[in-house]
Chains A and B, each alone.
Chain A
Amino acid sequence: MDWHIIIAASVKIVVFVFLVTLPLVAMSVWAERRVSAAIQDRVGPNRVGPAGLLQAVADGIKFLLKEDFTPDHVRKGYFWLAPALVMVPALMTSAVLPFGSSLFGEKMVIADLDVGPLFVFAVASLSVYGIVLAGWASNSKYPFLGGVRSTSQMISYEISLGLSVVPLIMIYGELNLSSIVQYQAENGWALLPLWGEGLSVKGFLLTIPVLISFIVFMTSMFAETNRLPFDLPECETELVAGYHTEYSSMKFALFFLGEYAAMIIGSGLAVTLFLGGWSLPFGWLTPESADAAVPWWHGLIHIGTFFAKVIALILFFIVIRWTLPRFRYDQLMRLGWVFFFEIALFNVVLTALLMWWLA
């Protein structure tokens, strides 16, 4: 391996993960608070910086300065490991997301893996260990219940999450996320096939399974990221604060930010798979092929497009959170196992039939 690749990868990691994703996490916390405030006819944090934009900085300082308290009755090693186990997988999955076409001849993806979605699922599901460990190591009843709930919830929804992506992979015939985006740039987004090859009876008929996939995928994503309406592992009304009841200071912040990081990466994945990733609609400014060089300003526009879509999806996550009430636990399990699992399976068959019929 030569130095050029290592340096390019490090620059991409630092810029994408630490200079873009982490600030985006902080900004989405701010957005969550402002949007929820507006929905509830309040104002929200608006004092620190213009329109309260620096609130995240103030929060960060507060988290760092607070006493980092470890209760006596916890299992220390696991207790300290758990928050990192929530945050790290969430950030690690960002390695395979193509966040732009290319800039100065460099592909805008940290690791151009040929098994993108599989890598995401494999790593993202590691974060359940963080929650389980937090619940177990805290050695008290509410975190324990939260941990148990979270485990069963994540396992249930992981299945439908994985299955909901299968139809798309069948359509694209590809597991490399960059190529998937390139395909969508040329032939219409999965959910909006209005140009290229997508503009055909086949393209339109295939949006039916894609739409079903999208709904299953998004719902499972809500469950995976523990957000309302599926935030049973930490619901305040029943479990105090769920699995992070015993945590304080920066350790709590890691859980908190891990949830938002998972949400951002989840949105990124949804954008990449369903909404054409970094590509503009109607094939504008589409590069010749996945490896073709593009002018630098095209590259910048593509990066901007990707983040615009991700931010739109994050706002959608936020609005949903403040719209829907929490599910009851048995309803949640029923929804996961009885409906989404079946729908996702059926959807795979439907896609196969449609593709065979239209071939």
Chain B
Amino acid sequence: MAIVVKRPKLKWWEQLYIPGIISGMRVTLGHFFKIVSGRKKVTMQYPEEKWDESLPEHYRGAPALVKDEQDRERCVACQLCEFICPPRAITIKPEEIPSDDKWAKVEKRPKAFDIDMIRCIYCGLCEEVCPEQAIYLRKDYAITGTSRAEMVHDKKKLYEIGGVRVGLVNKWNELK
């Protein structure tokens, strides 16, 4: 059904445009002076001012591996995250834990664990899927590098970002 749009009938002074221009300029100049006088602040001067303190709890930054309270790497190299990762950012090379190792009963650990941060889309699916709570998205967001190789986080770097996380997974603890 066609709708006839009613055009408002303008008064003669409205048709002059000049009052319209003046009231428009009142709006823009209002914004201008508020910003210039510093009464209103909207933008953050990024490298000098950061919003790190106000990052929300659920912020999804760079994914990282964590160790548990006994300094064991939590990752058991099940490769679930490698498979679920939508842009295939994760590459894992698993290896067997030698039988004389303290954690031999865990059987498997990653030999190499690379996350290509150019590919990662910070979706958090790796964290979601991990059965061992071994991979977490941290609050680091300024991931930069001057080459592609530099943008690949290897195992060492991932543990460096991740650090230690306690609790939640206890099945490999000696007590049990």
Contacts and interface: CB of A to CB of B under 8 A. Distances in A.
Interface of A: 35, 37-43, 215, 319-320, 322-324
A17 to B, nearest CB: 31
A43 B49 CA distance: 14
A38 B37 CA distance: 10
Interface in B1-56: 18, 21, 24-25, 27-29, 31-32, 35-36, 40, 42-43, 45
Contacts of A35: 32
Main secondary structure of the interface of B (DSSP, over half): helix
A43 B43 contact: yes
Given A43-B43, A43-B45, A323-B27, A38 B32 contact: yes
A39 B25 CA distance: 10
Contacts of B42: 41-42
Nearest to B23: A323
17 contacts: A38-B31, A38-B32, A38-B36, A39-B28, A39-B29, A39-B32, A41-B31, A41-B40, A41-B42, A43-B45, A319-B25, A320-B21, A322-B28, A323-B24, A323-B25, A323-B27, A323-B28
Interface of B: 18, 21, 24-25, 27-29, 31-32, 35-36, 40, 42-43, 45
Counting from the closest, the 8 A-B pairs by CB-CB distance are: A38-B35, A323-B24, A41-B42, A323-B28, A38-B32, A39-B28, A43-B43, A39-B32
Nearest to A34: B36
A332 to B, nearest CB: 13
A37 B40 CA distance: 13
Residue from A42, A215, A322, A323 whose CB has the most chain B CB atoms within 10 Å: A323
A323 B35 contact: no
A239 to B, nearest CB: 25
Nearest to B40: A41
A43 B42 CA distance: 9
Given A38-B35, A42-B43, A319 B29 contact: yes
